[in-house]
Amino acid sequence: MPTLLPYFISRNNTFSIRLSFSQEPSGSDQLRYPFVVISETGAFTRILKAEITSDHGSIIKPVFLLMGKDSYLLRGSEQELLNNKDIDQCWQRAYMHFSNDNRLIKLSAQAGDDSRLIQFQPLFFCREKEVFFHPPCPKCGKTLELCTDDDLLNSLGLAPYTKSLRRFLYCADCLQNKRAKDFYTYAPDTADTVIVKDLHHLIEGFGSLKQSEDDGFPCLKCPLQSECYSGNNLAQTRVVPFSFYPFHLFVLESAAINASDFLALISGATFEDIKGRMNSKSQQSRLPYVKSVCDDASQSSPLLFETDARYFLELLYLKLSFLGQLARIVFSNIESLRHPDLALSLDRIWVDLPGKDSLLPYFWNFNATLIDIVQCSMPNPHLPKMPPSYGNYLMGTLWFQTLLSNARHTPEEISAALAEHLHRTDSLNTVVDEKSPMQDHSHLFSPNNIFWNSSERDPDQEWSDLWAEALGLGWALLKSAASGDFRLSENDFRQAFDQLRQQIRESLFMPAQRGAAQTHDLSHDSAIHAILMSILDQWSETPQGMPDEMEQTVIISGQPSQGPAQEGPEETVILKPDLQPLHQTTPPLHPEEDVLETVILSAEDVPAVQPPGIDADIAETVMMKPGRKDLPEPGESMQPDTAPGNMEDDLEATVIMKKDTADETVIMNKYSAEKEMKPHSQQSKAENSAQEEDFLEETVIIRPDKDKE
């Protein structure tokens, strides 16, 4: 059986694994685990904090140590029907799973020639001398072993290894030589015989040991031996098991932050908010990860609309994106997650972030992952399972916890409210009526609860339908999980989910037509961000009045010749005052080529003609087609040769010209022209506006230079 000791001793290796130790003071009356436990919510596993270090002590990479527990957190049928062989096979499957994940750092000692995972020897730790050692037999000093012989265990009245979750250490040499029959277990059972000793008996027995087969046992030569094993019995608090039993272990690259903490941060929680919550739950081991993410977020742009009214949409979009990744985890591991005691929780989901140098906002680029061994299906076919729809129930519960958990509402409160309205109609059928919880717990399902501080923000009412659709997907998952006629397949869920995200994305990046709600005390960075977002909105707006067919703009100066009109491409002519007859200056194209041009002439090209008898406030609009030989004098009438229904084919531009404060409207085309002077009133403006919308390609307003008036 391999040992993990060489990986913990840096003086013999270029690289080593350095564990992190808890800063909590050790108690004198109880055994405390001195290593930093990041998570212990898994039924079979715990996660320890560690680093890969160089021989100089420099940190190369932070890592997680995913290792087996000495005591499994199971109850009921799982405790009775699962056995140690099942758990061993789970670790084998997990090793194959993580082998395809680039976060796994493989150790040569943990796999045999057949590529199967091998357990490491039991490992104890002396807190006073800070040394690791393998626990020796208190009688002979030889290394203790794990008993896997079912026949031997049955003969001694102990639970067999392959038919239970009980495990026992023993000395094979003492048993063979009939010196002792002591068996050691981490947590004794009331049904155990007198030969079974617990952890405290084992540590106490170290004090009577005179020799050890393992030179690494520190107590024999320690000057504090008498102090540790005297009447004060200090060894009970100074010697602790890193792992009481042989154990499996994976070294995994550290994730950035736990999912629960990530969701709190994007919802508006501060570092102090999360710290306070952790202190109340004694989860301070995750605090350094939150601190690191907060520091990175402060040096980058974590969100797009944090100070904008659209922050609600952004947060809803990010939480739904997280739930989409969570759904893949749940539905792909549904067989293993059908065991209620192995059910998934947000505490076992971790989030990877790309870092502050990402091109996307810091909180936009993330990847959720499950760090445990239950993603591999349980091998015991006789283990009771929930129906396949249990995955929908599990996903529906996590759905509402993700959307609604905040400073006021805990995941436990949300789950209790949901379970309260699962009504059993008979012994086989259960129904979910979403109307009852929405009425009885209306405060719980309010869109304000998407924020960490729900009382500080009020989402815009125009987005209430999107919120209702998001809750509707969660209710659909729960209704599908209950027995009945309603069924929601994974494909149907995916289709509805993707459609909802698309709608939110379109609303999120739609140009804001109204001023976004900004806080008044913006920092310099926030103010710059607000200005840039305003510019982005202006750029995103569709240009009004620009024809889709516009291809080219030609600016012509000089005096055009008085030649006949040429047949060719259509032109839009934008003129200043001092208008003279216009000659087409561009070469003709083939009739089938529908190319539009804009010709802009300066005031020196053609002289302007003052319209006679025009009131000082009359507007002038010129609509014309290219090919006209000359232009009519202002005030002359023109009879169009086409019906009003065909004017769209002839009219290309509107020119409003002003000279000496007089405006006039001129409508022209290349076949005939008509000019009608209209008063500059609200009515004429409305008529012109309607004509322009129906028939015109472009409207240009030109004012003359002041010195020419």
DSSP character at residue 137: P
Instruction: Return the number of other C-beta atoms located less than 10 Å from residue 355's C-beta.
Output: 11
Determine the Cα–Cα distance for residues 593 and 578; give it in Å rounded to an integer: 32
Q: What is residue 354's predicted lDDT score, i.e. its pLDDT?
A: 82
Determine the Cα–Cα distance for residues 182 and 171; give it in Å rounded to an integer: 8
Q: Is pLDDT above 90 for 35?
A: yes
User: Which secondary structure element, helix H or strand E, spans residue 418, and what is its range?
Assistant: helix 411-419
Q: What is residue 469's predicted lDDT score, i.e. its pLDDT?
A: 95
């209620």: which residue's tokens? 340
With a CB cutoff of 8 Å and minimum separation 6, the contacts of 68 are 44, 45, 87, 91, 243, 245, 247, 248, 249
Instruction: Say which range, 87-101, 202-216, 410-424, 544-558, has the weakest mean pLDDT.
Output: 544-558
Angle between helices 311-332 and 464-481 (to 10 degrees): 20
DSSP character at residue 512: P
Is 539 exposed, middle or buried, given 0-12, 13-18 or 19+ CB atoms closer than 10 A? exposed
Mean pLDDT of 577-587: 43
With a CB cutoff of 8 Å and minimum separation 6, the contacts of 567 are 588, 591, 627
Q: What is residue 332's predicted lDDT score, i.e. its pLDDT?
A: 80
Mean pLDDT of 295-305: 90
Determine the Cα–Cα distance for residues 250 and 376; give it in Å rounded to an integer: 15
Q: What is residue 152's predicted lDDT score, i.e. its pLDDT?
A: 95
Tokens of residue 476, six digits: 């659909």
Q: Which residue has the higher pLDDT, 706 or 343?
A: 343
Q: How confident is the model at residue 158 (pLDDT cuts 50, 70, 90)?
A: very high
For 132, the 3-state DSSP assignment is strand
User: Which secondary structure element, helix H or strand E, spans residue 104, and what is its range?
Assistant: strand 104-105
Residues in the chain: 709
Q: How confident is the model at residue 655 (pLDDT cuts 50, 70, 90)?
A: very low
CB-CB contact of 388 with 375 (8 Å): no
Angle between helices 287-298 and 259-266 (to 10 degrees): 40
Provide the β-strand partners of residue 241.
124
Percent of the chain with pLDDT over 90: 37
Q: What is residue 385's predicted lDDT score, i.e. its pLDDT?
A: 55
Q: What is residue 485's predicted lDDT score, i.e. its pLDDT?
A: 54
Q: What is residue 392's predicted lDDT score, i.e. its pLDDT?
A: 82
Q: What is residue 674's predicted lDDT score, i.e. its pLDDT?
A: 42
Instruction: Return the number of other C-beta atoms located less than 10 Å from residue 258's C-beta.
Output: 23
Mean pLDDT of 548-554: 43
For 350, the 3-state DSSP assignment is strand
Mean pLDDT of 593-615: 45
Q: How confident is the model at residue 419 (pLDDT cuts 50, 70, 90)?
A: confident
For 244, the 3-state DSSP assignment is coil
Range among 4-13, 263-272, 343-352, 365-374 with highest mean pLDDT value: 263-272
Q: What is residue 448's predicted lDDT score, i.e. its pLDDT?
A: 95
**Cβ density class 363-378: b for 16+ within 10 Å, e for less:** bbebebbbbbbbbbeb
């670790």: which residue's tokens? 91
CA atoms within 13 A on the CB side of 324: 19
Mean pLDDT of 561-585: 44
Q: Is pLDDT above 50 for 271?
A: yes
Angle at alpha carbon of residue 10, lines to 7 and 16, rounded to 5°: 45
Instruction: Say which range, 235-249, 532-546, 687-701, has the weakest mean pLDDT.
Output: 687-701
With a CB cutoff of 8 Å and minimum separation 6, the contacts of 636 are 675
Average pLDDT over the chain reads 75
Q: How confident is the model at residue 405 (pLDDT cuts 50, 70, 90)?
A: very high
CB-CB contact of 467 with 287 (8 Å): no
Q: How confident is the model at residue 535 (pLDDT cuts 50, 70, 90)?
A: confident
* Alpha-carbon dihedral angle through residues 144, 145, 151, 154, given to the nearest 10 degrees: 60
Q: Is pLDDT above 60 for 582?
A: no
Q: Parallel, antiparallel, or unpaired: how do β-strands 367-370 and 430-432 relate?
A: unpaired
3-state secondary structure 91-137: HHHHHHHHHCCCCEECCHHHECCCCCECCECCEEEECCCCEEECCEC
Give how far the C-alpha of residue 405 lies from the chain's centroid of Cα atoms, to the nearest Å: 16
Mean pLDDT of 549-570: 44
Percent of the chain with pLDDT over 70: 63
CB-CB contact of 311 with 302 (8 Å): no
Q: How confident is the model at residue 601 (pLDDT cuts 50, 70, 90)?
A: very low
Tokens of residue 418, six digits: 């949901």
CA atoms within 13 A on the CB side of 304: 20
Determine the Cα–Cα distance for residues 352 and 679; give it in Å rounded to an integer: 68
Tokens of residue 215, six digits: 């030179």
Mean pLDDT of 334-351: 74
- The pLDDT tens digits of the residues spanning 506-526 come to 999 876 554 344 444 444 555
Determine the Cα–Cα distance for residues 643 and 646; give it in Å rounded to an integer: 5
Q: What is residue 541's predicted lDDT score, i.e. its pLDDT?
A: 57
Determine the Cα–Cα distance for residues 68 and 72; give it in Å rounded to an integer: 9
Q: How confident is the model at residue 548 (pLDDT cuts 50, 70, 90)?
A: very low
CB-CB contact of 312 with 447 (8 Å): yes
Sign of the dihedral defined by the CA atoms of residues 539, 541, 547, 549, in that order: positive
Q: Parallel, antiparallel, or unpaired: how do β-strands 621-623 and 666-668 relate?
A: parallel
Q: Is pLDDT above 70 for 647?
A: no
For 298, the 3-state DSSP assignment is helix
Mean pLDDT of 351-370: 88
User: Which secondary structure element, helix H or strand E, spans residue 90, and what is its range?
Assistant: helix 84-99
Determine the Cα–Cα distance for residues 24 and 57; give it in Å rounded to an integer: 23
DSSP character at residue 342: G
- The pLDDT tens digits of the residues spanning 677-689 come to 444 444 444 444 4
